[in-house]
């Protein structure tokens, strides 16, 4: 495992650089810092909640640093820094139990961050409870969730790197779930719904596992989720599913497998668009966006988005693919005025 370097800064320099970071956390507790870091990891013994984190990346030599947290969430994309020219990056992170998939492993208590990249260097870090954080909650399946192990990644796992401090991603997507099972399992919707606060966005992408769900049931389930978000004062956003990488001979994805038409002939993206229109719900048409991208890359170029090379898997995305798809989601949320512009991914 690579080790990161901890740059030594004078007190005056550090105080100036981090002047925007509160010196004290809530209830008079001091901000947590580098004393909680060793080797390539930082652990902060904090309760479940939402935390603001500011990192100072770089050092005496050229560096390239990436920050991930909890269950492999990308919080800061790999960032290159010149020798002696460190930079600040800030983000807001959701800490909960279970820390990843709701039906998966509990994980470790507190906040865990990994300092990675090709030449990682961490000069300083400050962690404080977030005073005014807005949540984006995710309801979805394995193409969205915080995947526990390489080479898999859901797009929700990569979304935090695009967002500015003050907006956290609470990813409650879970592998293998359909609209039916997500509503039925007490660890899923019954747990997520009470956590929605007024003004929170709730992105809903469920379709891949509704393989035998009839159209009336699928529509009703989406409507139930939308109504449940609104009952809590939240703002639902319907997201059509990412395409499967399943080409026709002519290089298009115009077939039921690629475009998520199930065994009963239910066109999931079309029903999702219809529900969004009928109930005035913002829509992220990720099916259309991923279809256009995959077709533009072609049969060879699109392999890197999915796990074709590693697993012959044309449904689940690689870290690269999930990152690209998360960017598509972020761009659409910004275009509709649902989130501030935030960060552009570095690297």
Q: What is the pLDDT of residues 277-332, one digit of tens each?
A: 999 999 999 999 999 999 999 999 999 999 999 999 999 999 999 999 999 999 99
Q: Is the pLDDT of residue 244 over 90?
A: yes
For residue 28, the model assigns a pLDDT of 52
Q: How confident is the model at residue 175 (pLDDT cuts 50, 70, 90)?
A: very high
User: Percentage of residues in the chain with pLDDT exceeding 70?
Assistant: 90
For residue 345, the model assigns a pLDDT of 52
Section 245-250 average pLDDT: 98
Distance CA 153, CA 137 (A): 17
CB 222 within 8 A of CB 276: no
For residue 6, the model assigns a pLDDT of 47
Over residues 95-142, the pLDDT tens digits come to 999 999 999 999 999 999 999 999 999 999 999 999 989 999 999 999
Distance CA 47, CA 49 (A): 6
Residue found by looking up tokens 């999702």 in the block: 272
For residue 32, the model assigns a pLDDT of 95
CA distances from 198 to 6, 51, 69, 178, 194 (A): 40, 19, 26, 26, 11
Q: Is the pLDDT of residue 25 over 80?
A: no
For residue 344, the model assigns a pLDDT of 57
Q: Is the pLDDT of residue 262 over 60?
A: yes
């Amino acid at each position: 495992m690579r080790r990161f370097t901890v740059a030594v800064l004078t007190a005056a320099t550090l105080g100036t650089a981090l002047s925007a970071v509160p010196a004290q956390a809530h209830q008079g507790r001091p901000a947590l810092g580098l004393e909680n870091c060793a080797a390539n990891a930082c652990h902060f013994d904090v309760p479940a909640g939402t935390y603001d984190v500011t990192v100072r990346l770089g050092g005496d030599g050229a560096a390239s640093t990436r920050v991930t947290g909890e269950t492999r969430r990308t919080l800061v994309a790999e960032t290159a820094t010149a020798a002696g020219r460190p930079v600040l990056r800030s983000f807001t992170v959701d800490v909960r139990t279970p820390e990843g998939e709701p039906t998966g492993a509990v994980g470790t208590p507190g906040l865990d961050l990994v300092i990675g990249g090709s030449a990682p260097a961490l000069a300083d870090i400050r962690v404080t409870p977030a005073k005014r954080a807005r949540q984006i909650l995710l309801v979805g399946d394995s193409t969205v969730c915080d995947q526990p192990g390489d080479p898999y990644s859901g797009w929700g796992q990569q979304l935090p790197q695009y967002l500015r401090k003050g907006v956290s991603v609470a990813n409650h997507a879970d592998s293998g779930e359909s609209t039916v099972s997500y509503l039925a399992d007490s660890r899923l919707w019954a747990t997520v719904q009470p956590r929605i606060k007024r003004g929170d966005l709730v992105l809903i992408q469920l379709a891949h596992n509704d393989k035998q769900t009839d159209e009336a049931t699928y529509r009703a389930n989406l409507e139930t989720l939308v109504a449940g978000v609104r009952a809590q004062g939240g703002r639902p956003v319907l997201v059509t599913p990412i395409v499967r990488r399943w080409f026709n001979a002519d290089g298009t994805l115009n077939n039921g497998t690629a475009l998520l038409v199930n065994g009963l002939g239910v066109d999931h993206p079309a029903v999702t668009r219809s529900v969004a229109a009928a109930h005035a719900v913002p829509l992220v048409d990720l099916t259309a966006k991923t279809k256009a991208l995959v077709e533009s890359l072609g049969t060879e170029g699109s392999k890197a988005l999915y796990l074709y090379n590693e697993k012959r898997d044309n449904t689940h995305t690689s870290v690269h693919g999930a990152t690209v798809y998360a960017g598509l989601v972020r761009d659409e949320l910004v275009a509709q005025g649902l989130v501030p512009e935030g960060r552009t991914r570095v690297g």
